[in-house]
Amino acid sequence: MINLLLFPILIPFLFAAILLFFPKKVKAQRIITIIGLLTALSSAFVLLWKVKTDGVQSLTLGSWAPPFGITMVSDMMSALLVTSSLLIGLFVVWFSFTSIGIEREKSFYYPAILFMLTGVNGAFTTGDIFNMFVFFEVLLMSSYVLIVLGGEKVQLRESIKYILVNIVSSSLFVITVGYLYSVVGTLNMADISIKLADIGQAGIVTVIAVLFLIVFGIKGAIFPLFFWLPGSYAAPPIPILTLFGALLTKVGVYAIIRTYTLFFTTDIGFTHELLMIVSILTIIAGCIGALAYFDVKKIIIYNIIIAVGVILFGASVMNESGMMGSMFYLIHDILIKGALFLLIGIIIHITGTSDLRKMGGLIKRYPVLGWSYLIAAFGLAGIPPLSGFIGKLLIIQGGFENELLWQSIFILASSLIVLLSAIRIFIYAFWGEEKGALDFHPKTYRHLLAPTITLVVLTVLYGVGSEYLVPFMTDATAVLLDPSVYSNAVFGGGK
Amino acid sequence: MKTNDLIMQTTTKVVFFIIFLFSIHIFFAGHYTPGGGFVGGLLMSSAIVLLLLAFDLKTVKEMLPINYTVVTAVGLLISLATAAGSIFFNVPFFTHVYDYFYLPLLGETSIHTAMFFDTGVYLVVVGVTMTIIQMIGGDE
Amino acid sequence: MEILMSILIGFLFMAAVYLILSRSLLRIIIGTGLLSHGTHLLLLTMGGLGGKAAPVLSDGVTDYADPLPQALILTAIVISFGVTAFSLVLAYRTYNELGTDNMDLMKGTEDND
């Protein structure tokens, strides 16, 4: 099965196309979506195992020779990301059954989610820079649909800004690809990597590198390009917010890591220094935001920005520990952000508000929710042995190895702020006197809690069992640190 | 909005079929020369838009009782199925094949899997364009 | 020729930026349209403007234009067509729902919902 690496992309697409036939039959939609996601997920696991045993998988579409056709490449990093994005998709869909509302389910909610997963997985898998643009557009178009679905006033207002920002950034993407094409004359990422290494340290290459940082920085919400994110992400309902918060910024982060490890390795002194400074500034901006708001959604949304900064810092130091830490933290962040958004989703469902000052005392009636929130918050901050710990440890170790003393200490300090911001939600929402509308149907509560608890347990397992994940992460890091592995897989007998 | 423009309506009845046939021509021309599913689909939807201009939405819906979402879905499935056919032969996705066949009336004809893919594209374009136009024009 | 194209592209971008920064929603959408036109022209110019014949296989022609930028532009046109259509629908819905197409009135602070 040489087409195996395409299955996590094609299966959601196929099921989304099938779902378009009967938008009004909600029950059938739900069942088929779950079946589709489970099939895709199992194919992703098979792919993961295949990449682990046989190394990087590559396939050039249409049987063309590698630099000419569109190449799809699945290395360990993209296989891991594909698997975790499908996993999050599954939990979000499960959570949506009771929370999204029948009206949205009838207006192409599930097909939009599946199309978005197609785009996300495609962007993770593709080995062609223009094809990456196409997959970005696929996921953006579906995200436009998702963000405006339901048509509330605030959604319409915010989605216009979201679409506008993304149109501009997509245009920049195409412009940058145009520049890159004029320099190297190819679009195949492996080929670009080889040709750029031949060109060496040229000014235009650095310009292109910075342009790519801007393009993907808008999607990945780095400083100062995150301005659109808090407003837009707060508009749609919780399951959609979860999907966006857990996945969409990570696509941008993935693209930055991929281009900065594969293409722009000749002028590290400038490009990666810039990346490091930007990542530190991103963390500062995120920390300020996370402490400034009393809105639970906004607090967690600003935590996305902090995480983006931490991951990019790990990638910018370009050594083994830092890179491996970034990989650990990237997957951790997808899972933990999913869990946290679902948890605050339940809190918002119970209290009917997202304002911290209007809620309180939930621990008495909802102890399970309270304790699982606490575990997730500790995991977010990176308290051992929970999931965030190992990633952050390795990132800081990488920083120290490159003698970036202050920056590493800064990242440590930012963990405290993350902890503070997450615990603030716990204190306000769960302690104190009972406030807010507390008459909540216990059955709905249980239905919402089931996927959330499962996801929290999964993050705990991710933290406790990180020892078993080390071989996977080592493989991912090896490809990132040595671009020739990637290009050999594309051009050599990587079939 | 109810228009009652006799010249427009009479002309449209003829011109619609001319545009329709031209779109089919462009679609098949894409085989070896410029053309193809995308332009063909756009032409087809422009023909339907002409109908919408001459008559109103309700009349056109009675003339062409088509659910354009289903058209889109069918198009997507046709395209996907054509491209995915290669999976069963264990060759890379999108690998295309062609051969020459003797068809009655047409004689020696070359048939290419890309044509089936383009059929899907044609349907998707018509479906998506018409869905959007109906969405804007739908409510007064 | 490349210089001329660059000036043209710059002009398109200039107009696009001006329109995007204006208040009316419709002007903004027209601005994004111009932006993508400029992008497509840039892509064409970046591939080099040489080549006399269309990149379609025929006898006796050796001086083909570079087909790759053309393929990329076609893809980008299709995508920007879709995005523009979507944003038009969205602008229309927003206008109906919020009763304004003025971006200043859509700021969405706590007291201005």
* pLDDT top residue among B134 and A282: A282
Q: What is the pTM of this model?
A: 0.93
Do B27 and B40 form a contact (C-beta atoms < 8 A)? yes
Do A62 and B95 form a contact (C-beta atoms < 8 A)? yes
Position A495 scores a pLDDT of 41
Q: pLDDT tens digits, residue range A220-245?
A: 888 888 888 888 888 889 999 999 99
The answer to whether residue B15 scores a pLDDT higher than 50 is yes
β-strand partners of B101: B109
Q: Which of A199-203, A209-213, A232-236 has the lowest average pLDDT?
A: A199-203
Residues sharing a CB contact under 8 Å with residue A111, sequence separation 6 or more, in sequence order: A16, A17, A19, A20, A23
Q: Which residue has the tokens 């959330």?
A: A452
Least CB–CB distance from C78: residue in B38, B132, B135: B38
Do A169 and A237 form a contact (C-beta atoms < 8 A)? no
The answer to whether residue A153 scores a pLDDT higher than 70 is yes
Instruction: Give the C-alpha separation, A51 to B15, whole Å.
Output: 57
The answer to whether residue B61 scores a pLDDT higher than 60 is yes
Position C108 scores a pLDDT of 63
Contacts of A170 in chain C (CB under 8 A): 79, 83
What is the residue-wise DSSP string for A460-479? HHHHHTHHHHHHHHHHHHHH
Contacts of B128 in chain A (CB under 8 A): none
Contacts of A18 in chain B (CB under 8 A): 73, 77
Position A494 scores a pLDDT of 43
Contacts of B139 in chain C (CB under 8 A): 96
**CB-based contact C85 B129, cutoff 8 Å:** yes
Nearest chain B residue to A19 by CA: give it.
B73
Residue range A28-50: mean pLDDT, rounded: 93
Closest Cα to residue C86, out of A287, A136, A138? A138
Best A7, A21, A118 residue to mutate vs chain B (most B CBs within 10 Å): A21
Least CB–CB distance from A63: residue in B76, B84, B95: B95
Position A240 scores a pLDDT of 93
23-42 in chain C: CB under 8 A from chain A: 25, 28, 32, 35-36, 38-40, 42
Nearest chain B residue to C88 by CA: give it.
B136
- Asked if C18 reaches chain B (Cβ–Cβ under 8 Å), the answer is no
DSSP assignment, residue C56?
A: S
Least CB–CB distance from C89: residue in B32, B33, B135: B135
- Asked if C85 reaches chain B (Cβ–Cβ under 8 Å), the answer is yes
Q: pLDDT tens digits, residue range A96-116?
A: 998 888 888 888 899 999 999
- Asked if B124 reaches chain C (Cβ–Cβ under 8 Å), the answer is no
C-alpha pair distances (Å), A62 with each of A253, A293, A483 = 29, 51, 25
Position A168 scores a pLDDT of 92
**CB-based contact B34 C54, cutoff 8 Å:** yes
Do A126 and A72 form a contact (C-beta atoms < 8 A)? yes
Least CB–CB distance from A154: residue in C28, C87, C113: C113
Closest Cα to residue A372, out of A466, A462, A455, A463? A455
Mean residue pLDDT of chain A comes to 89
Structural domains in chain C?
Answer: 2-50+66-104 (1.10.287.3510)
Q: Which helix (H) or strand (E) holds A258?
A: helix A249-262
Nearest chain C residue to B128 by CA: give it.
C82
Instruction: Give the C-alpha separation, A321 to A400, whole Å.
Output: 10
The answer to whether residue B105 scores a pLDDT higher than 80 is no
* pLDDT top residue among B60 and A454: A454
Determine the distance in angstroms separating the CA of A384 from the nearest CA of chain B, rounded to an integer: 44
Write out the two tokens for A287. Answer: 């920390």
The Cα diameter of chain A in Å comes to 68
Do C27 and C19 form a contact (C-beta atoms < 8 A)? yes
Least CB–CB distance from A181: residue in C47, C94, C106: C47
- Asked if B49 reaches chain C (Cβ–Cβ under 8 Å), the answer is no
Residue range C5-30: mean pLDDT, rounded: 93
Q: Which residue has the tokens 């990180």?
A: A466
Identity of residue C59: D
Write out the two tokens for A355. Answer: 């304002």
Q: Which of A17-26, A236-245, B37-46, C59-68 has the lowest average pLDDT?
A: C59-68
Chain A positions contacting chain C at CB under 8 Å are 130, 133-134, 137, 141, 144, 148, 151, 153-154, 156-160, 163-164, 167-168, 170-171, 174-175, 177-179, 181-182, 187, 231
Best C87, C100, C107, C109 residue to mutate vs chain A (most A CBs within 10 Å): C87
β-strand partners of B112: B98
Q: pLDDT tens digits, residue range C59-81?
A: 777 777 888 888 899 889 989 98
Contacts of C56 in chain B (CB under 8 A): 32-34
Residue range C13-37: mean pLDDT, rounded: 93
Determine the distance in angstroms separating the CA of B10 from the nearest CA of chain A, rounded to an integer: 35
- Asked if C54 reaches chain B (Cβ–Cβ under 8 Å), the answer is yes
Q: Where are the domains of chain A?
A: 1-266, 269-464
Nearest chain B residue to A65 by CA: give it.
B92
**CB-based contact A164 C28, cutoff 8 Å:** yes
The answer to whether residue A493 scores a pLDDT higher than 70 is no
**CB-based contact A20 B73, cutoff 8 Å:** yes
Contacts of B69 in chain A (CB under 8 A): 20, 23
Q: How many helices (H) and strands (E) does chain A have?
A: 21, 2
Instruction: Give the C-alpha separation, C32 to B89, whole Å.
Output: 43
Determine the distance in angstroms separating the CA of A122 from the nearest CA of chain B, rounded to an integer: 14
The answer to whether residue A8 scores a pLDDT higher than 70 is yes
Contacts of B132 in chain C (CB under 8 A): 85-86, 88-89
For chain A, percent of residues with pLDDT exceeding 70: 99
Position A279 scores a pLDDT of 92
Closest Cα to residue A286, out of A224, A352, A362, A357? A224
Contacting subunits of A (3+ beta carbon pairs below 8 A): B, C
Contacting subunits of B (3+ beta carbon pairs below 8 A): A, C
Residues sharing a CB contact under 8 Å with residue A8, sequence separation 6 or more, in sequence order: A40, A43, A44, A47, A82, A83, A86, A121, A125
Mutual angle of helices A129-148 and A153-184, in 10-degree steps:
180
For chain C, percent of residues with pLDDT exceeding 90: 35
Do A251 and A133 form a contact (C-beta atoms < 8 A)? no
The answer to whether residue B3 scores a pLDDT higher than 60 is no
The answer to whether residue B100 scores a pLDDT higher than 90 is no
Position C112 scores a pLDDT of 46
Closest Cα to residue A286, out of A463, A410, A426, A155? A410
The answer to whether residue B140 scores a pLDDT higher than 70 is no
For chain A, percent of residues with pLDDT exceeding 90: 50
**CB-based contact C87 A163, cutoff 8 Å:** yes
Least CB–CB distance from A63: residue in B70, B73, B92: B92
Chain B positions contacting chain A at CB under 8 Å are 69-70, 72-73, 76-77, 80, 84, 86-87, 90-96
Cβ-based neighbour number of residue C12 at 10 Å: 19
* pLDDT top residue among A142 and C60: A142
CA dihedral A469, A471, A476, A481 (to 10 degrees): 130
Q: pLDDT tens digits, residue range A432-443?
A: 887 766 667 788
Residues sharing a CB contact under 8 Å with residue A327, sequence separation 6 or more, in sequence order: A77, A80, A391, A473, A476, A477, A480
CB pairs under 8 A between A and C: 94
Instruction: Give the C-alpha separation, B135 to B133, whole Å.
Output: 5
Determine the distance in angstroms separating the CA of A92 from the nearest CA of chain B, rounded to an integer: 24
Best A163, A166, A180, A294 residue to mutate vs chain C (most C CBs within 10 Å): A163
Phi first, then psi: what are they for A465, rounded to 5°? Answer: -95, 25
